[in-house]
Amino acid sequence: MEHLEIERKFLVVSDAYKKDATSETRIVQGFLNTAPERTVRVRIKGNKGYLTIKGKGNESGTTRFEWEKEISFNDATNLIDLCEPGILEKIRFEVPAGEHLFEIDEFLGENEGLVVAEVELQNEDERFDKPDWLGDEVTGQIKYYNSQLTKKSFINW
């Protein structure tokens, strides 16, 4: 199936990744729909806007449908105003490790203190380097989904 996203998600145990980061970008995002069968996300990343639709994950939570299109900054800003309550803000660091690129999100606001790393894969069994700063795997744990962090913030766990 086209547009499949295969990723694994981990907690981060130190800020050692920052020395290897190749980029750092502020992200603001909200959700127009957070139904379990589909989420519709609006994101402002730097000065660009994106609209993303994600389907329900498979049993392991590793694979799901994802469709994303770039939209104008103004459209994204207007759509953020229509989102469900709970706008997320985070700083994303991109960190190469071996043949893969990790995206590390440092959450801000009511999710401050939560730092999560994601790595996209070509298939669920693909091997990848696990840097020392990578902690416990949380793939498929719904409370770590961004859509859920808008409903129950990290500070309220």
pTM metric for this prediction: 0.93
Residue 153 has pLDDT above 90, yes or no: yes
Work out the percent of the chain whose per-residue pLDDT is above 90: 94
Task: Please provide the average confidence, as pLDDT, over all residues in the chain.
Answer: 95
CB atoms within 10 A of CB 139: 16
What pLDDT digit, counting tens, does each position of 74-123 carry?
Answer: 999 999 999 999 999 999 999 999 999 999 999 999 999 999 999 999 99
Rg (CA), the chain: 15
pLDDT score for 2 = 67
How far is 73 from 135, CA to CA, in rounded Å? 35
